[in-house]
Structure 1
Amino acid sequence: MAPLEVTTLLFDLDGTLYGIENGYEAHVRENVYRFMIEKLGVEKNECRNVWKRAFEKHNQTLKGLRSEGYEIDKEEFWDFIRSGREKFLSEAPEVASLLQALPQSKWVVTNCNERHAWLALKEMKLDQYFEGVLGSDFMEPYAKPQEEAFQAVVERIGIAPSEAVMFEDSVKNLRTCKTMGMRTVLVRGATAREEGASVDDLVREGIVDHVVASCSEGDVRAAAPSLFARG
């Protein structure tokens, strides 16, 4: 059977639509540690270990901390850790040019909650290009990279996995997408390096279809020109 036409592009947020070198992701991590100290009573010298253990369980901090037995108000948590975005995020014309040039339907799929993902998109002046954000509230009780989370996404949009392309900086997430039949674009950066991924191996194994340095029109057009075809 011939592969279905690509109708839908799925974009991660952090590390994909903006590069983590801008400092925002590190700022969010520091906010998480402050939240743990101020709201949960975790000792400062234990924050990183508690966070790492929690995150590795669920790939999402809120779920992980709750699994450790901490009672956390969801809205308070997201408001606290995602504060200060305006200091790091700004208009992203190169990403806007890419999104404008691509003819497919576009969605953000993120382990961040929807409200704060939209606020980040507005800060970068990218919100107008997306039909929706499917985040932690929608995917609950699952989270990326769980297949159940991605299955909920494609069912919500009303597509087969083979109609979608996922843009991600996390190899863990792309592995799930590829297993389901999606096409995959790795945004090369610190996340893949932290996960110990060899980009050459990922391409050779067929986990990653395309590799880009950023979500700019030039990078994506050079790596995956077929995505820009209309009709």
Structure 2
Amino acid sequence: MTLSPFARVESWIFDLDNTLYPHHSNLFEQIDQRMSEFVQKLTGKPADEARELQLSYYKEYGTTLRGLMLEHDIEPDEFLEYVHDIDHSVLEPNPYLSDAINQLPGKCYILTNGTRKHAEAVANRLGITHHFEDIFGIVEAGLIPKPAEQTYKRFLDKNSIRASNAAMFEDLSRNLVIPNTMGMRTVLVVPDGTREVFREDWELSNGAEPHVDFVTDHLDGFLHNILGELKD
């Protein structure tokens, strides 16, 4: 009998945006647009220049917020409230995902560069909030975003998680580098029906990097497959 590669996992860690809900729902697109608007209002730049600046901060600092804090000395609360003031009603409950998460052995967590409030709103819409032991957002991370190593360490320490017995699910390949180094199982979640992440060129991934153990475009089905392996 072949042992499941997830047999030792007792902590299941999920990114939020474009991971726990499908990329095609375009929820994060609303956040992205709000970030561009915030940068435009802050800097007075034309929309296209503000957008370019936003993306450059995201690329260099991990989040637009981190770039604005370091380059413009903004207070984070105003930004976080503004960009997460979106319509969450585009999300529908996902009983199939809820059932899978509920059956995973051990404990489940959300680790996001967004706010805890936003994560709770998303989880509530999906009907999965009650399955999570902790929701760890950007404020809990001391405003230091993934992929910074200290953010993962802070999260693991807070929840007394042993990395070698954990699995990380993410839609951004670069955010799986540190988890892989720490000894976690890593799963890249890509848009529905694809095997590629269609974002900025520097973010493109086909999941072939050595720090990506598995790739899936259907998280709920992937989790149910794991459950089937663990029962065999």
TM-score range, shorter chain: 0.7 to 0.9
- The residue aligned with 2:26 is 23
- The residue aligned with 2:70 is 67
Deviation, 1:73, is 3.2
Distance 1:4 1:179 in 2: 19
1:215 aligns with 2:219: yes
Distance 2:49 2:26 in 1: 23
Q: Which of 186, 192, 210 is residue 197 of structure 2 equivalent to?
A: 192
1:78 aligns with 2:80: yes
Distance 1:80 1:168 in 2: 24
Indicate conservation of the 8 Å contact 1:210/1:223, yes or no: no
Distance 1:223 1:212 in 2: 12
Indicate conservation of the 8 Å contact 1:10/1:109, yes or no: yes
Deviation, 1:183, is 0.8
Deviation, 1:62, is 0.9
Distance 2:59 2:186 in 1: 23
- The residue aligned with 2:91 is 89
After superposition, what is the alpha-carbon deviation per residue over 1:128-154, rounded to whole angstroms, capped at 9, x for unaligned? Answer: 111111110111242111111111111
Q: Which of 177, 180, 183 is residue 181 of structure 1 equivalent to?
A: 183
Distance 2:33 2:85 in 1: 11
Indicate conservation of the 8 Å contact 2:163/2:182, yes or no: yes
- Aligned pairs (5 A) from 1:1-231: 5-69=8-72, 71-189=73-191, 192-194=197-199, 195-199=203-207, 201-202=208-209, 205=210, 207-216=211-220, 218-222=221-225, 225-226=228-229, 228-229=230-231
Indicate conservation of the 8 Å contact 2:112/2:137, yes or no: yes
Indicate conservation of the 8 Å contact 2:101/2:223, yes or no: no
Deviation, 1:214, is 2.2
Partner SS for 2:54: helix
Aligned-residue CA RMSD (Å):
2.3
Indicate conservation of the 8 Å contact 2:69/2:76, yes or no: no
Distance 2:81 2:135 in 1: 17
Unaligned 5+ runs, structure 1: none
Partner SS for 2:147: coil
Indicate conservation of the 8 Å contact 2:27/2:88, yes or no: no
Deviation, 1:210, is 2.1
Deviation, 1:177, is 0.7
Kindly provide the amino acid, as one letter, of the partner of residue 150 in structure 1.
Answer: Y
Distance 1:142 1:122 in 2: 25
Distance 2:161 2:129 in 1: 22
Give the paired residue count. Answer: 221
Deviation, 1:15, is 0.8
Distance 1:179 1:5 in 2: 17
Partner SS for 2:140: helix
Indicate conservation of the 8 Å contact 1:14/1:25, yes or no: yes
After superposition, what is the alpha-carbon deviation per residue over 1:148-174, rounded to whole angstroms, capped at 9, x for unaligned? Answer: 111111111112210110011110011
TM-score (norm 2): 0.86
Deviation, 1:27, is 1.1
Unaligned 5+ runs, structure 2: 1-5
CA 1:224 to 1:148, structure 2 compared with 1: closer, same or farther past 3 Å? farther
The alignment-based identity, stated in percent, is 26
CA 1:167 to 1:225, structure 2 compared with 1: closer, same or farther past 3 Å? farther
